[in-house]
């Protein structure tokens, strides 16, 4: 079985502002990342994805780009990126950049031209509409960061559309020149040697050409962010999106071995459409389902089954536990369950993505009012939507600012950094970091964990058991979602016993088991069964 590199890979997301500062300005940068590559090699990951590093006024911390082919000086220079690419490639690591094609910054030259007059050549590069008959907004479309998605521009007397901040105007993807301009950006980075893109809010690119009102959301209520008052029927996931994405694929395909990942928050049945007709879509539509599914055996089992069944033939799965927009997994599932979550992520079928610091068990950091940076939190306060708490500096050691910066960090360092940091985890044989390393090593040396199919074995109250099978090799994963010790049965799937390859507690390795295995509270086990024989198949 031949797989592409990204099918075997473990991807690691770096939020560049928070990984490693090299120049004392309190903000992480490219040289900082380069200096930490050996750590990532030791961890065993295969590819890094960098959140945006391009010129930006930083209203949305780089997701508001003013020049797609320039590096923001906060992060360094083009030659710093070239050095990062070369160093990473020397170490066998791939580098994936963030592509943000849905919107630019209002400081981008394209938007400055577009807003300058109704007859400007680039007017149609953005989405301009006349006021409605009563002089107000053109329709009821809502910004994800609060308020109407339309901003009135005095100079030309029209509104422009912004799915996010007013300073992030949406590009008009129905305009062929816009598409060509972004494809040129893609080619520019691909020629420079980047190994692929994670494409920001890709399901947003095309909006309804009739600008119909979004329907009200019957489930909307107090405590929900205001944009959820309407269902984004006419603003996202439009049918025409798939033609655009296959066009993007045709830009990338001439460059061998490059990867497209799509950021898509949709239910599974809609999500899998982004593999595209005949797999002409993105290679990996990000699967965020674990971020929202209740953390228990039954819900997770059902989710895996649903996802596995929905993936089109030839489509490759992927799994995510956290990112720079969502609360940290160790806080969400609890410290006790974090090792189980790691085991799940790294033994499911498909490409896993790790969010920096997850491997240390980094927690969501409470952010005081005076430290808030996230524009979403600023616009929509009090609902707990803030994303700063999952973006705090990487915890490298027990020294000042956790070794992240010699200056003042742009977000507070977690108070837990003296206990939770890379240096101490490297010395602690029981640390979560050691489990991540062991799991990644095990993936590499166990074909069934990479190539194997997924077979559900059993679910009981707190126990989920599944197998991965490849060419007669059988690996069983047993997960205890509860805090009590529990007995899992592998019978009749395992007619003979097996051997423990790994416990989430990093002991019990080599222990022989029969068809029943006891799990301690919160424990996850990876078990190797004897080679499959005809009689062992039930």
Choose, from 200, 358, 359, 388, the residue flagged as catalytic: 200
Which residue, 184 or 408, is less far from Mg ion as judged by CB? 408
**DSSP H helical ranges for 253-358:** 268-271, 289-292, 297-310, 329-332, 338-347
CB 10 within 8 A of CB 38: no
Please choose, out of 19-27, 275-283, 452-460, 511-519, the segment that lies near Mg ion by the rule CB under 5 A: 19-27
**Which of ligand GLC, Mg ion, none binds 27 (CB below 5-8 Å, type-dependent)?**
Mg ion
200 is an interface residue for ligand GLC by CB under 6 A: yes
Which residue, 80 or 200, is less far from ligand GLC as judged by CB? 200
Number of DSSP helices (H) and strands (E) in the chain, helices first: 16, 21
**Which of Mg ion, ligand GLC, none binds 29 (CB below 5-8 Å, type-dependent)?**
Mg ion
Residue 60 C-beta: closest distance to ligand GLC, Å: 5
C-alpha distances in Å from residue 506, one per residue of 15, 97, 160, 431, 524: 29, 34, 55, 9, 10
Choose, from 64, 195, 237, 263, the residue flagged as catalytic: 263
Q: In the annotation, is 180 catalytic?
A: no
Residue 495 C-beta: closest distance to ligand GLC, Å: 47
164 is an interface residue for ligand GLC by CB under 6 A: yes
Of residues 83 through 122, those in contact with Mg ion by CB under 5 A are none
Which residue, 178 or 438, is less far from ligand GLC as judged by CB? 178
106 is an interface residue for ligand GLC by CB under 6 A: no
Which residue, 100 or 241, is less far from ligand GLC as judged by CB? 100
**DSSP H helical ranges for 349-488:** 375-379, 422-427, 432-445, 447-451
Task: Give the number of other Cβ atoms within 10 Å of residue 179's Cβ.
Answer: 19
**Which of Mg ion, ligand GLC, none binds 201 (CB below 5-8 Å, type-dependent)?**
ligand GLC
72 is an interface residue for Mg ion by CB under 5 A: no
Of residues 50 through 69, those in contact with ligand GLC by CB under 6 A are 60, 63
80 is an interface residue for ligand GLC by CB under 6 A: no
325 is an interface residue for ligand GLC by CB under 6 A: yes
Size of the site for ligand GLC (CB under 6 A): 9
C-alpha distances in Å from residue 231, one per residue of 213, 242, 412: 10, 20, 36
Cβ within 8 Å of residue 439, ≥6 positions away: 342, 343, 346, 347, 502, 526
C-alpha distances in Å from residue 519, one per residue of 21, 439, 479, 502, 509: 42, 18, 8, 12, 13
Burial per residue of 71-84, b for 16 or more beta-carbon CB atoms within 10 angstroms, e otherwise: bbebbbeeebbeeb
Of residues 29 through 48, those in contact with Mg ion by CB under 5 A are 29
Distance CA(146)–CA(379), nearest Å, equals 6
Binds Mg ion by CB under 5 A, chosen from 4, 5, 25, 505: 25
Closest CA to 502 of 419, 452, 434: 434
Cα angle 250, 255, 260; round to 5: 60
Residue 391 C-beta: closest distance to ligand GLC, Å: 9
Name the site residues for Mg ion (rule: CB under 5 A). 21, 23, 25, 27, 29
Name the site residues for ligand GLC (rule: CB under 6 A). 60, 63, 100, 164, 200-201, 263, 324-325
List active site positions. Answer: 200, 263
């Amino acid at each position: 079985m031949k797989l592409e590199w990204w099918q075997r890979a473990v991807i690691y997301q770096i939020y560049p502002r928070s990984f490693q500062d090299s120049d004392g300005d309190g903000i992480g940068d490219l040289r900082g990342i380069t200096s930490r590559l050996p750590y990532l090699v030791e961890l065993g990951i295969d590819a890094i994805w960098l959140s945006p590093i391009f010129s930006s006024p930083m209203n949305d911390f780089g997701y508001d780009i003013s020049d797609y082919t320039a590096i923001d000086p906060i992060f360094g220079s083009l030659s710093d990126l070239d050095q990062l690419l070369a160093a990473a490639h020397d170490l066998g690591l791939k580098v994936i950049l963030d592509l943000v094609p849905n919107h630019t910054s209002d400081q981008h030259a394209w938007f400055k031209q577009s807003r300058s007059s109704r007859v400007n050549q680039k007017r149609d590069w953005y989405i301009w509409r006349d006021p409605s008959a009563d002089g107000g907004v053109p329709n009821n479309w809502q910004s994800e960061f609060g308020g109407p998605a339309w901003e009135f521009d005095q100079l030309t007397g029209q509104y422009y559309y912004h799915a996010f901040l007013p300073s992030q105007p949406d590009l008009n993807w129905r305009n062929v020149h816009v598409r060509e301009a972004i494809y040129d950006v893609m080619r520019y980075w691909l020629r420079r040697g980047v190994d692929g893109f994670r494409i920001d809010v890709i399901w947003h690119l095309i909006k309804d050409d009739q600008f119909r009102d979004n329907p009200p959301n019957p489930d909307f209520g107090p405590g929900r962010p205001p944009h959820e008052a309407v269902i984004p029927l006419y603003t996202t996931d439009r049918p025409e999106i798939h033609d655009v994405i296959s066009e993007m694929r045709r830009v990338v395909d001439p460059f061998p071995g490059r990867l497209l990942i799509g950021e898509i928050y949709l239910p599974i049945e809609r999500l899998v459409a982004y593999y595209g007709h005949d797999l002409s879509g993105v290679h990996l539509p990000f699967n965020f389902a674990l971020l929202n599914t209740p953390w228990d055996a039954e819900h997770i089992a059902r989710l895996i089954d649903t996802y596995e069944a929905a993936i089109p033939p030839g489509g490759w799965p992927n799994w995510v536990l956290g990112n720079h927009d969502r609360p940290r997994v160790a806080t969400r599932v609890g410290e006790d369950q974090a090792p189980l979550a790691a085991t799940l992520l790294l033994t499911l079928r498909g490409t896993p993505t790790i969010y920096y610091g997850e491997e240390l068990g980094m927690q969501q950091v409470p952010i005081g009012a005076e430290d808030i940076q996230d524009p979403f939190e600023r616009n929509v306060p009090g609902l707990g939507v803030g994303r700063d708490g999952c973006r705090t500096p990487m915890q490298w050691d027990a020294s000042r600012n956790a070794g992240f910066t010699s200056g003042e960090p742009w977000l507070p360092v977690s108070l837990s950094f003296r206990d939770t940091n890379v240096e101490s985890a490297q010395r602690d044989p029981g640390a979560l970091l050691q489990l991540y390393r062991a799991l990644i090593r095990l993936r590499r040396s166990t074909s069934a964990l990479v190539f194997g199919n997924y077979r559900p074995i059993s679910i009981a109250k707190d126990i989920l058991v599944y197998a991965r099978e490849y060419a007669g090799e059988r690996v069983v994963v047993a997960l205890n979602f509860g805090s009590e010790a529990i007995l899992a049965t592998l019978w009749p799937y395992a007619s003979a016993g097996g051997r423990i390859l790994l416990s989430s507690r990093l002991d019990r390795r080599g222990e022989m088991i029969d068809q029943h295995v006891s799990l301690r509270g919160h424990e996850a086990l990876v078990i190797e069964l004897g080679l499959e024989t005809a009689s062992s198949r039930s």
